[in-house]
Structure 1
Amino acid sequence: MLKDQLNTIRQKLERAKKRDSALAVFGAYSHKYQLNAPLPVEKLHAFEREHGIVLPEGYAMFLTELGNGGAGPYYGLYALGEEQAIELDLIGEPYKPFLMGENAQSTDCEGSATDETESCPGLINIGTQGCSYEMMLVVTGEHRGKVLYINMDDGQSFMTYEEHFLNWYERWLDETIASYEDAWFGMSRGGNDLELTALYRSATDEKTRSEALQGMLKLPHLAEESVIFLIGEFRVCSGEIRRNAFRVLTKLCPSQAEGLVRVLLHSPDEEDRLTAMKCLTWYMPQEKHRFKDELLALLHHENNPESFRFLTMLLSDMGQPMLSLMVPFFTHSNSEIRQQALFKAGGAAGEEKAQVMDSFIEALEDPVMMVRLSALQALNGIQETRLLHVFEGLLQKHKTNKEYVRSNISSLLQTFVFHSLAHMEQEVPESLTQVRGLLRKQLGSL
């Protein structure tokens, strides 16, 4: 059985290489779909004796019959025991993860992000995903043979879905050949839309059903029967199941999702509305203008900062007059919304912002430091003399640049044109000692 699978993998590797001749798949430029020479069996056995282990059969056969590292997911596979981000002294100890979330786990790794290597029992490092993310093979315990992803910075890990290494590797080849989305390979359920639909129908728990739908997001397209199925599930289900069906439809069939977008935008569920706004931003940028009226109507009803952020991004991208829309939110009860409103208002032309200067000045006196900072940054491009008095008050309160108030004011003062030091001292009142001091430094450096 494993011999047959190895032969299939050998053939599929050639097909994947031809399909991705431009090396566009993530990490492919580093391995170019080339395997290293196979590992001599005696060297494999020597490694096993040295560490007191027996490697999972599929992985061992891959090394000795196909190649000792090389082509593989992400940046490819390491040669046996090489380039380890972990110590191998505990490789024979049982691997025992404990769940931290959905599929997220914490490894039993000892050490810190500052250590060159860490000790992780029952694992061998078989490749890297880049940065601090590593691919491990479980060598011992009930998960023996499975591939595990670990963030070495914090120990968070993800157990891939395939039962053993060869299935994981062959899935990578299948998805490369089929031109599936390659970002974060292995972190969603494998299979095409029909296979994932079958998994969904057979599942008895909501978690597996959600995973089946999420797995469709990697696909390049859907069969017509899958579209019909997803629309049906959207209509009869609620909560995360409905939202996952919606995500797949907006990404892969936006032409059939317009009515569904309106359903979620009018939903009393805050998470439904946020999902609709995210999907409009990510998957339906060309269609978002059709929802202008619904989005404008939501503006004064969204009190969730994340929803407000996506909402204002969409309206801004549509070319809506953001300054007039945002000013009422300068005094919103939520400080994050006040910040976002000021950020969006800051993109208006200087002459437009000057017309609502009182609102900006009021924001500069906000009790929350980050809101005051956002108000300062929103004032770029304005040369308004009365701002100098406001700046003086802020500079008196902030004698150091710990909170970046002084550096932001210094940047804003550069828009005030003074031909000379004498000109500045003539125009700026003597009482504004802090402002005059910053301007002297700027003019003195000219």
Structure 2
Amino acid sequence: MTDATWEGVRARLRALAERPLDDRAFDNGVFGALGHRFRLDDPLTPEGLADLEARTGVSLPEEYRGFLLHVGAGGAGPAYGVFPVLCEHGTWRWVGDGADLADLARLAEPFPRRGPDPARLEALLAERPDEEELDDGDDFDAALEEWSDRWEALMWSADRTVGAVPICHLGCATRQWLVLTGPERGRIWADNRVDEVDLEPLLDADGEPVTFTWWYLGWLEAAERELSLT
């Protein structure tokens, strides 16, 4: 990955930002544009990036490092945009809806490619209380709360997402994560756990894992087509 990968990206986004936006941008393909309006945060300095990596104890994937240095620390991007990373009072953190799900003290640990045992997951889903089978509403509420506690302990454990950070929010508590460590390093994973679906790698049309660059530049090209800039 070279710096040339990100050459001209900020200018392309400025051109998009100059286009008037209305509901068409939301309804016809550029989801989230009315929120970020194609604006970017300033890029990190090399010194800032070095400090980020030193304080988190992890070497960021090269594609993401290039983005932070040459495009921006966050802002315009897929869905509601790329979560910004910033330093406050000597502490680095990612900012966005659900960004606090990342355990910043465990970013250097290898991201776990495998989730809960599928049989265990299927068994737990089968045990979810059915309101029609419980005559008393209070009994159903109590049973659902007990089941939800077990579900969250299994699916939302911080152990599931060590070595990764949420990178964007798609709405309704669905997100995408960027893996920082391990065999999946540099790839994007989908998080639809709110819909009782386990974390899974994001794949392209050919079934190949989606990398940060493919994810971001693919979105940018689609936005330019939608707003008739290509």
Question: TM-score with structure 1 length normalisation?
Answer: 0.34
Whichever residue aligns with residue 45 of structure 1, its letter is: A
> Whole-Å Cα distance in 1 between the matches of residues 73 and 6 of structure 2?
14
- Residues 17-59 of structure 1: CA deviation (Å, up to 9, x unaligned): 4567334221111111000111222222222112211001111
Where does residue 63 of structure 1 map in the other structure?
68
Determine if contact 2:115/2:199 at 8 Å carries over to the other structure. no
Determine if contact 2:3/2:70 at 8 Å carries over to the other structure. no
> Whole-Å Cα distance in 2 between the matches of residues 147 and 163 of structure 1?
6
Where does residue 103 of structure 2 map in the other structure?
87
Q: Secondary structure at the match of 1:54?
A: coil
Q: CA deviation at 1:117?
A: 8.7
Determine if contact 1:19/1:176 at 8 Å carries over to the other structure. no
Where does residue 157 of structure 1 map in the other structure?
199
Q: CA deviation at 1:165?
A: 0.9
Where does residue 167 of structure 2 map in the other structure?
126
Structure 1 residues 52 and 38 mapped into 2: Cα distance closer, same or farther (>3 Å)? same
1:5-404 → structure 2 map (5 Å cutoff): 5-17=5-17, 21-22=21-22, 23-24=25-26, 25-80=30-85, 81-83=93-95, 84=99, 85-98=101-114, 112=152, 118-119=158-159, 120-153=161-194, 154=196, 156-161=198-203, 163-179=210-226
Structure 1 residues 47 and 117 mapped into 2: Cα distance closer, same or farther (>3 Å)? farther
Q: Secondary structure at the match of 2:178?
A: strand
Determine if contact 2:102/2:162 at 8 Å carries over to the other structure. no
Structure 1 residues 112 and 86 mapped into 2: Cα distance closer, same or farther (>3 Å)? farther
Query: Equivalent pairs: percent with the same residue?
Result: 30
Unaligned regions of 5+ residues in structure 2, if any? 86-92, 117-150, 204-208
> Whole-Å Cα distance in 1 between the matches of residues 158 and 35 of structure 2?
25
Q: Secondary structure at the match of 2:226?
A: coil
- Residues 185-215 of structure 1: CA deviation (Å, up to 9, x unaligned): xxxxxxxxxxxxxxxxxxxxxxxxxxxxxxx
> Whole-Å Cα distance in 2 between the matches of residues 156 and 65 of structure 1?
33
Q: CA deviation at 1:152?
A: 4.3
Determine if contact 2:14/2:39 at 8 Å carries over to the other structure. no
Instruction: Pick the structure with greater CA Rg.
Output: 1
Q: CA deviation at 1:72?
A: 0.6
Q: CA deviation at 1:94?
A: 1.2
Unaligned regions of 5+ residues in structure 1, if any? 101-110, 181-446
Determine if contact 1:123/1:137 at 8 Å carries over to the other structure. yes
Structure with more strand by fraction: 2
Where does residue 228 of structure 1 map in the other structure?
none
Whichever residue aligns with residue 86 of structure 1, its letter is: A
Whichever residue aligns with residue 177 of structure 2, its letter is: M
Determine if contact 1:19/1:177 at 8 Å carries over to the other structure. no
Q: CA deviation at 1:178?
A: 2.1
| Alignment size in residue pairs | 170
Q: How well do the aligned residues superpose, as a CA RMSD in angstroms?
A: 3.0
Q: Secondary structure at the match of 1:129?
A: strand
> Whole-Å Cα distance in 1 between the matches of residues 107 and 11 of structure 2?
32
Determine if contact 1:126/1:137 at 8 Å carries over to the other structure. yes
Structure 1 residues 89 and 173 mapped into 2: Cα distance closer, same or farther (>3 Å)? same
Q: Secondary structure at the match of 2:170?
A: strand
- Residues 300-358 of structure 1: CA deviation (Å, up to 9, x unaligned): xxxxxxxxxxxxxxxxxxxxxxxxxxxxxxxxxxxxxxxxxxxxxxxxxxxxxxxxxxx
Structure with more helix by fraction: 1
Determine if contact 1:31/1:70 at 8 Å carries over to the other structure. yes
Determine if contact 2:31/2:79 at 8 Å carries over to the other structure. yes
> Whole-Å Cα distance in 2 between the matches of residues 50 and 117 of structure 1?
24
